[in-house]
Amino acid sequence: MTILVPTITFSDDHTQAANTFFYVEDEELLYNVSWSGITIGTIRLKTLSVLEFSEAGRHKAVAYIDSRSGLPFVDVHLVAYTEMDSSFNSLGSYSYEKQDGEWLKVLYRYNLSEKKIIVEEAYQETLGSSSQHSVVRDTLHITKNLVQDGISLVFIGRRLLQVQDSISFSTVSNEKIGETLFYPLRPHSKVNIKAWERPIHVVELSGIMKLEGILGLTGDFKGWFSNDDAAIPITAEMKFILGSIKIELKHWNRKGWNPPE
């Protein structure tokens, strides 16, 4: 399979904007997820070592998404991986979701030269065991060489924090192809979170997801990123199956970093 390494292109033929965000291996960010003031789960996002899995110039990240035990309306345990090029465009992704005591693996094999993505599914007893009964479920057809998945969108958002124009990406999620649109940046502001006692200097990036993602996430979203080289997602607001959720940074591990004030 031939994989092309795409570059970011902007609407109306604008040139690529410079950006100071840089990727750090072994960065780990823990988020609290709440709905109507009630904690419903956590998201743990971690970057992985390039040399452990792939050639230089690529990045890999994993997200662990878990709902809080005992909730009557949500029971989610999901592990999602993404592999990205140096500009944080997705080159492939796969996820594991716990269902009835087993783990459903969904693998997206990209063939960008032929503008298609092969979707494979398999079940396995544990995250560490071998997959069984792998089957091809679908072939998704795309119109662009630029593709994002649910996890790579976080990193492309961090990459785009100096963009002054709208930009859209083909996005793959839940075995379907849709579109995610980012709007121009809003002026710098400050936000407060429980994990830091002083206001944090942030940049606001908003947009709309024109497909259904994890937990039924869809529609308008807003994210506030630290206004520094790290561009850490501090907090976000998104719509899902029961209304709107808030995602807030709870703990972080990035060498030498604390929120800018």
User: pLDDT by residue (tens digit) across 191-231?
Assistant: 999 999 999 999 999 999 888 777 677 889 999 999 988 99
Q: What is the mean pLDDT of residues 107-132?
A: 88
Distances from the Cα of 252 to the Cαs of 28, 30, 49, 87, in angstroms? 6, 6, 17, 23
Q: What is the pLDDT of residue 1?
A: 29
Question: What are the φ/ψ torsions at residue 158 (nearest 5 degrees)?
Answer: -65, -35
pLDDT tier for residue 132 given thresholds of 50, 70 and 90: confident
Burial class (CB in 10 A: 0-12, 13-18, 19+), 126: exposed
Rg, Å, the chain Cα set: 18
Distances from the Cα of 86 to the Cαs of 17, 60, 155, in angstroms? 15, 10, 11
Q: What is the pLDDT of residue 258?
A: 94
pLDDT tier for residue 20 given thresholds of 50, 70 and 90: low
Task: Answer yes or no: are the C-beta atoms of 46 and 26 closer than 8 Å.
Answer: yes
Q: What is the mean pLDDT of residues 230-256?
A: 91
Q: What is the pLDDT of residue 17?
A: 35
Q: What is the pLDDT of residue 87?
A: 84
Q: What is the pLDDT of residue 5?
A: 30
Q: What is the mean pLDDT of residues 104-133?
A: 88
What is the identity of the amino acid at 18? A
Domains of the chain: which residue ranges? 26-253
Q: Say whether pLDDT at 51 is over 80.
A: no
Query: 3-state class of 205 per DSSP?
Result: strand
Q: Which residue has the tokens 């630290």?
A: 226
Burial class (CB in 10 A: 0-12, 13-18, 19+), 2: exposed
Q: What is the pLDDT of residue 259?
A: 94
Identify the weakest region by mean pLDDT among 29-33, 59-63, 71-75, 251-255.
Answer: 71-75
Q: What is the pLDDT of residue 160?
A: 80
- Cα separation of 233 and 31, whole Å? 10
The DSSP symbol for 18 reads: P
Q: What is the pLDDT of residue 9?
A: 37
Convert the pLDDT of each residue in 137-180 to its tens digit: 899 998 877 889 989 999 998 988 766 778 888 899 888 899 99
91: left (phi over 0), alpha (psi -120 to 50) or beta: alpha
CA end-to-end distance (rounded Å), the chain: 47
Task: Answer yes or no: are the C-beta atoms of 53 and 70 closer than 8 Å.
Answer: no
What is the identity of the amino acid at 88? F
Q: What is the pLDDT of residue 72?
A: 79
More confident residue, 223 or 134: 223
Q: What is the pLDDT of residue 226?
A: 94
